[in-house]
Structure 1
Amino acid sequence: MSGWERSSTARVVSPARPRKLAKVPFVELADGRLQGVVSSGSDIERVYVSSVAAGTYAFACSTNNNRPCGGARGTFCNHLRALVGEAVLQYGAERVARYLRVDAGDEELGAPLLTSAMTSTRPPQGDTTAAAPVFSRFLRHLAYLELASATGPLPEMQWFPPTRAVA
């Protein structure tokens, strides 16, 4: 067993390229979706929880208090486009395309091409039930930023099962 498997820390994959966190502070490839939190362009206190499902490209975008996004009516809104763009910066275009199962042919992958390939299929509006868990994970990440730097284990990360049998 390697060292990282015996500890309560996980390897952190460096971003493909540096990104600014002001517009899209949280982005992840999880639960069969590209999902994240996108800041509002008009209200500093409002954020949107946006997601795109792998394979079907069903999309959802709503505010942090579950009000639907006015721009996500039948096509990707600006929040979803920003999410795809930041995911490409964070994970790389090839990884995002592979995760979402986007076939972009032989063209050079990038956020505009991925978005175009997904929206050309007329994706359905998705459900917003994923918004609450995504926003909750975002808030959890923010809480970790407030912790003082330490090398010791975090109690909430101790859910890993023991590596040796308990008699």
Structure 2
Amino acid sequence: MRVVPSARPRKLAKVPFVELADGRLQGVVSSGSDIGRVYVSSVAASTYAFSCSTNNNRPCGGARGSFCNHIRALVGEAMLQYGAERVARYLKVEAGESVDAPSLTSAMTAARPGAGDASAAAQVFSRFLRQLAYLELAATTAPLPEMHWFPTTGAVAA
């Protein structure tokens, strides 16, 4: 598996986890009002069906009929992580020549997306928690079997 570097550096405080997977742009977005709450947000490719709920499966109050601020933040951070053209291509959005987050979300909302399937939220949140677990590991040069697919940059000095 090829690991693609970020298009541009991004801050992880607002959107700590973003991925293009399972036919969706999906990720975890921090709450602006409660430090202990996060939202699991997603937008489906082609249909732009969206969902946003808390980590406790409570629906987002702002995602009633259109994209909430969590989804808009997710789109913006995905563009920083993967590049605007790649995100637009993955979601199958015709956004014109200069693609930025506002034009991409405008193009998707113009298609009048409906509510998406929120059942994937648990899987997305689980992958996020697994990623956080790696931050708690002690520094070591020993291989981790579940991370065998990461590329090596050279020999490790003993």
Q: Give your verdict on TM over 0.5.
A: yes
CA offset digits 1:104-133 (Å, max 9, x no partner) = 13x301111110100111101102101000
For 1:133, give the aligned amino acid. Q
CA offset digits 1:66-120 (Å, max 9, x no partner) = 0000000000000000000000000000000000000113x30111111010011
Aligned pair partner of 2:112 in 114, 122, 128: 122
| Structure 2: stretches of 5+ with no match in the other structure | 150-158
Cα distance in 1 between the residues matched to 2:39 and 2:108: 20
Matching residue of 2:142: 152
Which ranges of 4 or more aligned residues in structure 1 deviate by more than 6 Å?
A: none
CA offset digits 1:4-37 (Å, max 9, x no partner) = xxxxxx5432110110000000000000000000
For 1:70, give the aligned amino acid. G
What RMSD in Å do the two structures reach over aligned CA positions? 1.5
Cα distance in 2 between the residues matched to 1:94 and 1:145: 30
Cα distance in 2 between the residues matched to 1:16 and 1:157: 22
Aligned pair partner of 1:34 in 13, 19, 25: 25
- The 3 A distance-change label for structure 1 pair 11 and 144 is farther
Matching residue of 1:140: 130
Alignment of 1:1-167 (within 5 A): 11-105=2-96, 107-157=97-147
State TM-score, norm by structure 2: 0.90
Matching residue of 1:4: none
Larger radius of gyration: 1
| Structure 1: stretches of 5+ with no match in the other structure | 1-9, 160-167
Q: Sequence identity, in percent? A: 82
Q: Secondary structure of the equivalent of 2:19?
A: strand
